[in-house]
Amino acid sequence: MVDFGSNLKELRLKHKMTQKELADKIGVTKSVVSYYELQERSPSPEILIKLSRIFHVTKDYLLGIEHTHTIDISNLSSEQLTVIEQLIKLFESDDK
């Protein structure tokens, strides 16, 4: 979990959240969020799941294992999803 603290802080700031706001969302104190960011404490699996859902990233990304983000597409229409799938195929074919 080498990058967990810095990844968490980066995501929190990117989403314009204070430590207190994030703490309230995951059910811990502001101090605990501070400890996570300073890497003085490690989150439980349950907290990791909450954080990944809040920030729409994988648990591996939070832990510094993976360096890509996921995209939340749950609110997109089927037409929008079709366009995204077509763009992905277009980008993949450009890589070859």
Q: What is the mean pLDDT of residues 60-85?
A: 83
List, for residues 29-69, the tens digit of each pLDDT value: 999 999 999 999 999 999 999 999 999 888 988 988 876 65
Locate the domains of the chain by residue range.
4-62
**pLDDT in the model for residue 96:** 53
| pLDDT over 60 at 5, yes or no | yes
**pLDDT in the model for residue 69:** 59
Q: Which of 42, 39, 32, 71 is nearest to 55 (CA)?
A: 71
Matching CATH number, 4-62, of 2.60.120.1270, 1.10.260.40, 1.10.3720.10, 3.30.70.20: 1.10.260.40
DSSP string, 3-23: THHHHHHHHHHHTT--HHHHH
Neighbours of 11 (CB within 10 A): 20
Question: Is 0.75 topped by the overall pTM?
Answer: no
